[in-house]
Amino acid sequence: MRHYISLVLATAACCAAITAGAQTGPSCSDLGSVRISGVEITGATEVPANARIPPSYPHYVGSLPAHCRVEGVIHRRKGVDGVEYGIGFAIALPEKNAWNGDFMMQGGGGGNGVVNYPVGASYTGDKSALDRGFVVASTDTGHKARTGGFDFSFMRDQQAYLDFAYQANAEVAGIAKQILARYYGRPASWSYFVGCSTGGREGMILSQRFPTVFNGIVVGDPAMRTGLSNLAIGQWIPVAYNQAAPRDASGRPQIDKLFTDADRKLFMDKLMKKCDALDGVADGMIFNPLGCHFDPAEIACRPGQTEECIAPEKVAAIKKAFAGPKNTYGTQVYPGFLYDAGIATSAPLPGLLNPRSRGLFGPVTTATTLDVDNAALHVSDPLVEPASTNLSTFSGNGGKLIFFHGDSDPWFSPLDTFQYYQSLAATNGGAEQVATWSRFFFVPGMSHCGGGPSLDHFDMLTALVNWVEKGTAPQSVIATGPAFPGRSRPLCAYPKHAQYSGHWKTEDASNFVCQ
């Protein structure tokens, strides 16, 4: 602190007249000697505009404005398994005259374990948060992934597990706020968090366990109950499909041979015929998913019928798979999935109508039976799952919480996130009351956090900022995307959906209304 103060005075004396105060205070490299208990600053680097990103940052993030990048580790230590742990983080601070006064943290993905470049480029529209003047932070949440994005071996170490489960993001946010306050000479006005998948779960955790750290949070496709979603997609759905799948020579079901391309095409044709135009235009997107009541039984082959139909046992398998797992009491232990435009895709992720014999975590089960009661018994983990609906401090503090979920997400059902949102309403004074601080957006056609026959390019950050800072609640957010060049649509806050007005170009969002 003494160093900081003396440096401020020296800088002010020499340069105040030249910069009119805009660049006073510590320089970027001075942040390298900042002392915060438990924190090791490993780098403070001035990064010129459009600089190349060091290879230690795994993902390309496009061109960047000039900024100061601070890197560090919180609580470096040796774990019980002999592995070195610590919460790695990186913070990008815009040039002092470019700072907008706000802070944004970007969420992680999968098992985390890498520090992604702090840029805030996801779900923030055409300009990254850093480009808009936000200070941006990111973290590996306490461990290094050694075998890719789904290395969960760190869970052997209790503290590493706790850091991943719920602690690391809040700690990094606290450190980032301290560092930015020293750099700019004043605290951030507003703080935001934006994440999808594991990042979505992190956003929910922060809203529930650290209600005063962020003023606004965007939660996308949250990996919120991975034990139960894995039960659904790793057991329930494969077993339902295996029951109808053709067998190989040794009698094992061949799940990837269950549906033919013709089956998929017919299914999608009939589904789209039934539900596509409910939103006023047959455009390959179902904007009214909750109004879509498609029953695959309609296309099951009747006795003697061989054309324009799907074998009844396959249809039964689809219905069972999409209905989601129930226990012997008839209780739904995880929701079903939506019949949506993206369920037959093969990339970026196979849709649920495209079962494979090998999944992300190895061979898919060949079992044909499942004891749901038993399987569901021990898969929930209250440390990692964001289940609480008591957000009274978050919302009472003016916090705003935006959810979005891809309707064709084959990993986490959009209906699970939607049910959480509904339970928020049920326990917080009703839907209208909750809509004053939280909103939910279905994203038609979108796979897990992007991709699919969808418009997956949208700016939730601006919607959030306008809500937090100006009190303007988001009725709709405009979406575009590479799957439909030239097309735009409003994503409408639930309970509304985008409906074509019946006039003018169907490619233009302005000709749709939320109803």
Q: Does 456 bind Ca ion (CB under 5 A)?
A: no
Q: Does 157 bind Ca ion (CB under 5 A)?
A: no
Q: CB of 140: closest distance to Ca ion in angstroms?
A: 41
Q: Which of 30, 263, 409, 456 is catalytic?
A: 409
Write out the binding residues for Ca ion, residues 290-349 only, by CB under 5 A: none
Q: Kindly tell me which of 155 and 282 has the beta carbon lying closer to Ca ion.
A: 282
Q: Are 97 and 185 in contact (CB under 8 A)?
A: no
What character string, x for contact with Ca ion (CB under 5 A) and - otherwise, covers 63-102?
Answer: ----------------------------------------
| Alpha-carbon span 393 to 210, nearest angstrom | 9
Q: Are 294 and 339 in contact (CB under 8 A)?
A: yes
Q: Which of 140, 448, 454, 497 is catalytic?
A: 448
Q: Kindly tell me which of 213 and 285 has the beta carbon lying closer to Ca ion.
A: 285
Q: Kindly tell me which of 30 and 279 has the beta carbon lying closer to Ca ion.
A: 279
Q: CB of 492: closest distance to Ca ion in angstroms?
A: 13
Q: Kindly tell me which of 288 and 366 has the beta carbon lying closer to Ca ion.
A: 288
Q: CB of 220: closest distance to Ca ion in angstroms?
A: 22
| Host H or E run for residue 180 | helix 168-184
Select from 285-293, 300-308, 310-318, 320-328 the region that touches Ca ion (CB under 5 A). 285-293
Q: Kindly tell me which of 278 and 434 has the beta carbon lying closer to Ca ion.
A: 278
For residues 274, 279, 285 and 288, what is the CA-based torsion angle, rounded to 10 degrees? Answer: -80
| Alpha-carbon span 322 to 311, nearest angstrom | 17
Q: CB of 22: closest distance to Ca ion in angstroms?
A: 50
Q: DSSP characters for 214-231?
A: -SEEEEES----HHHHHH
Q: CB of 187: closest distance to Ca ion in angstroms?
A: 46
Paired strand residues for 342: none
Select from 103-111, 221-229, 275-283, 378-386 the region that touches Ca ion (CB under 5 A). 275-283
Q: Is 75 a catalytic residue?
A: no
Write down the residue that tokens 């689809």 correspond to. Answer: 318
Select from 87-95, 132-140, 273-281, 401-409 the region that touches Ca ion (CB under 5 A). 273-281
Amino acid, res. 438? S
Select from 236-244, 283-291, 312-320, 356-364 the region that touches Ca ion (CB under 5 A). 283-291
| Alpha-carbon span 406 to 42, nearest angstrom | 38
Select from 58-66, 91-99, 100-108, 268-276 the region that touches Ca ion (CB under 5 A). 268-276
Q: CB of 281: closest distance to Ca ion in angstroms?
A: 5
Q: Does 409 bind Ca ion (CB under 5 A)?
A: no
Q: Are 339 and 271 in contact (CB under 8 A)?
A: yes
Q: CB of 487: closest distance to Ca ion in angstroms?
A: 11
Among 163, 263, 283, 385, binds Ca ion (CB under 5 A): 283
Q: Are 421 and 380 in contact (CB under 8 A)?
A: no
| Alpha-carbon span 290 to 292, nearest angstrom | 5
Q: CB of 293: closest distance to Ca ion in angstroms?
A: 15
Q: Is 6 a catalytic residue?
A: no
Say how many residues touch Ca ion, by CB under 5 A. Answer: 4
Closest by alpha carbon to 502, among 490, 491, 513? 513
Q: Kindly tell me which of 41 and 281 has the beta carbon lying closer to Ca ion.
A: 281
Q: CB of 453: closest distance to Ca ion in angstroms?
A: 11
Tokens representing residue 381 in the block:
């983990």
| Host H or E run for residue 174 | helix 168-184
Among 140, 171, 221, 279, binds Ca ion (CB under 5 A): 279
Helices (H), 185-291: 198-209, 226-231, 237-244, 261-275
Q: Which of 197, 207, 447, 476 is catalytic?
A: 197
Q: Kindly tell me which of 139 and 499 has the beta carbon lying closer to Ca ion.
A: 499
The residues, any chain, with a CB within 8 Å of residue 142's CB and separated by 6 or more, are 85, 86, 87, 88, 112, 154, 159, 160, 163, 164, 167, 168
Q: Kindly tell me which of 204 and 278 has the beta carbon lying closer to Ca ion.
A: 278
Q: Kindly tell me which of 187 and 291 has the beta carbon lying closer to Ca ion.
A: 291
Q: Is 409 a catalytic residue?
A: yes
The residues, any chain, with a CB within 8 Å of residue 340's CB and separated by 6 or more, are 286, 289, 292, 407, 408, 444, 445
Q: DSSP characters for 302-368?
A: PTT--SS-B-HHHHHHHHHHHH--B-TT--BSS------TTTT--SSS--TTS--SEETTEEPP--S
Select from 78-86, 277-285, 357-365, 452-460 the region that touches Ca ion (CB under 5 A). 277-285
Exposure string for 58-84, b = 16+ CB within 10 A, e = fewer: eeebeebbebbbbbbbbbeeebeeebe
Among 276, 385, 407, 456, binds Ca ion (CB under 5 A): 276
* Residue 74 backbone dihedrals phi, psi, to 5 degrees: -105, 135
Query: Known catalytic residues?
Result: 197, 409, 448
Residue ranges that bind Ca ion, judged by CB under 5 A: 276, 279, 283, 285
